[in-house]
C-alpha cells in the first residue's frame, strides 16, 4: 500500500491505450485503475458468424487486464513492469499458474499502463465476503491457500541471483482464479497480483523497501504471509495449524528465523493432508456457491467486440 496518494483525476480515465478495447472495471487501488479488456488484434482474429455461446467462449480466452497508473504513481507501474519481466523470464520453462503474465506495457508515459493476463475471479477479500458466514466451514480453502501461496512465495524467494519480494502481500493483492485451471478439483487457483511494490532482496542495493522498522526481506514477507493466513484460520483445524506455526517460530514471529521454504518443508505435508480431510462434499459445496458469483458481464463482452 502506498502513502501520500491523491484522488484520481479525470485525465487518468481518458489515457486509455488505443491497442485495447475496454470491457468493464476489474478493480482499482491507490496507484491505478484496472479494466478487463481485449486487444484490437484479438478482436480482428475472432472467427466471424459464431453462435453467441462460442463467441463468448472465444472472447473469454482472449481477455486481459489493462492497468493504468496515476501520474503521481508512475514509478509503481514501471516497478511492476520491471519485476513482472523478471518473473516472466524465470517462469518461461516452468508451469507456474500463480502469477498473471505480462503481455504488453508502456511504463514511460505520463499515465503509464501495463496489460497482463486476466484473472477471472475475486480477490481474497471479496471471496471471503462471498463465503460468509460459512467461511470457517470451508477450511479446505484455508489449507489450499497455504499450499498455493507457499508455492508462489517460495518460487519468488528462490529466484536467482536474488530473491524477489512481492512487497505488498494482502487480501486485495491475491486473487482466486475460477476459470484458468484448478490444481485441486473444486477449489480455485490462487494468483498473486500487484507487483508495484516488489523489490529484489539484494542487501547491497540502497533502494530496498523500508517497511516498519527495518529493511524488507524474505523473513518479513513470510511473517506477512502468516498474518494473512491468521485472518482465515480462526477456527478448528485451521486455527490449530496457525498455532503450530506460531509455536515453531515464536509468538512474535521472529522475522530473522522465518522463511517460506522452511515453512513449507515443515508444514507442507500436514497442509496437504488436512486439505484432503477437510474437502468434504459439504465444504466443497460452500466454496462452489461462493464461486458462482459472476465476475464478467456477457452483454459487455459482446458489446466490446461490436457483434
Ligand atoms: N490480472 C488481473 N485480473 C483481474 N483483476 C485484476 C488484475 N490485476 C488487478 N486486478 C484488480 O484491480 C485491483 C487493483 O489492482 P492492483 O492491486 O494491481 O493495483 P494497485 O493500484 O497497485 O493496488 P494497491 O492499492 O494495492 O497498491 C485488484 O485488487 C484487482 O481487483
Ligand atoms: Mg493492489
Q: Provide the CATH number for the domain around residue 114.
A: 3.30.200.20
- Are 254 and 152 in the same domain? yes
Confidence of residue 174 (pLDDT cuts 50, 70, 90): very high
CA distance linking residue 175 with residue 222, whole number of Å:
18
Number of domains in the chain: 2
The Cα angle at residue 259 between residues 254 and 262, in degrees rounded to 5: 115
- Classify residue 305 by its DSSP letter: T
- Are 146 and 73 in the same domain? no
pLDDT of residue 253: 63
In a domain, 22, yes or no: yes
Give me the chain's average pLDDT, please: 89
Q: Is the pLDDT of residue 4 over 50?
A: no
- Classify residue 188 by its DSSP letter: P
Residue 196 alpha carbon, nearest atom of ligand 1 = 22
Residue 122 alpha carbon, nearest atom of ligand 1 = 31
Verify whether ligand 1 is closer than 6 Å to residue 123 (CB atom).
yes
Verify whether ligand 1 is closer than 6 Å to residue 177 (CB atom).
no
- Classify residue 306 by its DSSP letter: T
Q: Which residue, chain included where needed, has cell 474437502?
A: 279
Q: Which of 118, 149, 168 marks a domain boundary? A: 118
- Are 108 and 210 in the same domain? no
Pairing mode, strands 174-177 and 102-106: unpaired
Whole-number Å distance, alpha carbon 123 to ligand 1 midpoint, is: 9
Ligand nearest to the CA of 27: 1
In a domain, 153, yes or no: yes
- Are 36 and 165 in the same domain? no
Verify whether ligand 1 is closer than 6 Å to residue 196 (CB atom).
yes
In a domain, 1, yes or no: no
Write the residue with the smallest CA distance to atom 28 of ligand 1.
Answer: 27
- Are 110 and 139 in the same domain? no
215-271 tens-digit pLDDT: 778 888 998 999 999 999 999 999 999 999 988 887 666 666 788 999 999 999 999
Verify whether ligand 1 is closer than 6 Å to residue 172 (CB atom).
yes
- Are 107 and 223 in the same domain? no
In a domain, 74, yes or no: yes
- Are 110 and 194 in the same domain? no
Verify whether ligand 1 is closer than 6 Å to residue 115 (CB atom).
no
Write the residue with the smallest CA distance to atom 23 of ligand 1.
Answer: 29
Q: Which residues neighbour 186 within 8 Å (Cβ) at sequence distance 6 or greater?
A: 279, 284, 287, 288
Chain centroid offset of residue 273 CA: 25
Averaged pLDDT for residues 102-108: 95
pLDDT of residue 110: 87
Angle of helix 236-249 relative to helix 218-232, nearest 10 degrees, comes to 160
The better pLDDT of the pair 77, 251 is held by 77
Residue 170 alpha carbon, nearest atom of ligand 1 = 26
Whole-number Å distance, alpha carbon 77 to ligand 2 midpoint, is: 12
Q: Which of 118, 143, 175 marks a domain boundary? A: 118
pLDDT of residue 258: 83
The Cα angle at residue 74 between residues 73 and 76, in degrees rounded to 5: 70
Domain that holds residue 16: 10-118
Write the residue with the smallest CA distance to atom 24 of ligand 1.
Answer: 29
Write the residue with the smallest CA distance to atom 22 of ligand 1.
Answer: 31
pLDDT of residue 272: 98
- Are 94 and 113 in the same domain? yes
In a domain, 296, yes or no: no
Reported pTM: 0.92
Write the residue with the smallest CA distance to atom 12 of ligand 1.
Answer: 27
pLDDT of residue 176: 95
In a domain, 41, yes or no: yes
- Are 102 and 226 in the same domain? no
pLDDT of residue 209: 56
Verify whether ligand 1 is closer than 6 Å to residue 68 (CB atom).
no
pLDDT of residue 113: 95
Which CATH number characterizes residue 162's domain? 1.10.510.10
- Are 262 and 172 in the same domain? yes
Confidence of residue 49 (pLDDT cuts 50, 70, 90): confident
Confidence of residue 204 (pLDDT cuts 50, 70, 90): low
- Are 226 and 97 in the same domain? no
Averaged pLDDT for residues 140-146: 98
- Are 225 and 159 in the same domain? yes
Amino acid at each position: 500500500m502506498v502513502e501520500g496518494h491523491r484522488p484520481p483525476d479525470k485525465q487518468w480515465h481518458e489515457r486509455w491505450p488505443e491497442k485495447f478495447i475496454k470491457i468493464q472495471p476489474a478493480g482499482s487501488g491507490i496507484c491505478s485503475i484496472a479494466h478487463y479488456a481485449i486487444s484490437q488484434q484479438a478482436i480482428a482474429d475472432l472467427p466471424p458468424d459464431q453462435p453467441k455461446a462460442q463467441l463468448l467462449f472465444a472472447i473469454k480466452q482472449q481477455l486481459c487486464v489493462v492497468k493504468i497508473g496515476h501520474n503521481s504513481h508512475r514509478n509503481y507501474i514501471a516497478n511492476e513492469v520491471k519485476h513482472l519481466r523478471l518473473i516472466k523470464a524465470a517462469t518461461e520453462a516452468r508451469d507456474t499458474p500463480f502469477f498473471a503474465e505480462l503481455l504488453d506495457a508502456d511504463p514511460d508515459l505520463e499515465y503509464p499502463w501495463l496489460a497482463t493476463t486476466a484473472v477471472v475471479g475475486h480477490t481474497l477479500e471479496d471471496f471471503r465476503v462471498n463465503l460468509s458466514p460459512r467461511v470457517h466451514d470451508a477450511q479446505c480453502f484455508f489449507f489450499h491457500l497455504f499450499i498455493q501461496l507457499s508455492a508462489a512465495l517460495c518460487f519468488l524467494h528462490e529466484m536467482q541471483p536474488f530473491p524477489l519480494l512481492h512487497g505488498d502481500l494482502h487480501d486485495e493483492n491475491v486473487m482466486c482464479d475460477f476459470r484458468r485451471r484448478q490444481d485441486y478439483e473444486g477449489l480455485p487457483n490462487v494468483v498473486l497480483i500487484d507487483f508495484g511494490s516488489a523489490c529484489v532482496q539484494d542487501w547491497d542495493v540502497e533502494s530496498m523497501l523500508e517497511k516498519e522498522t527495518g529493511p524488507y526481506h524474505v523473513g518479513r514477507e513470510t511473517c506477512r504471509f502468516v498474518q494473512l493466513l491468521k485472518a482465515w484460520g480462526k477456527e478448528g483445524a485451521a486455527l490449530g495449524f496457525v498455532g503450530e506455526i506460531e509455536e515453531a517460530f515464536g509468538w512474535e514471529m521472529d522475522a530473522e528465523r522465518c522463511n517460506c521454504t522452511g515453512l513449507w518443508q515443515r508444514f507442507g505435508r500436514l497442509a496437504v493432508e488436512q486439505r484432503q480431510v477437510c474437502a468434504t462434499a459439504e465444504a466443497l459445496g460452500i466454496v462452489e456457491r461462493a464461486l458462482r458469483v459472476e465476475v464478467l458481464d456477457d452483454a459487455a463482452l459482446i458489446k466490446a467486440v461490436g457483434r
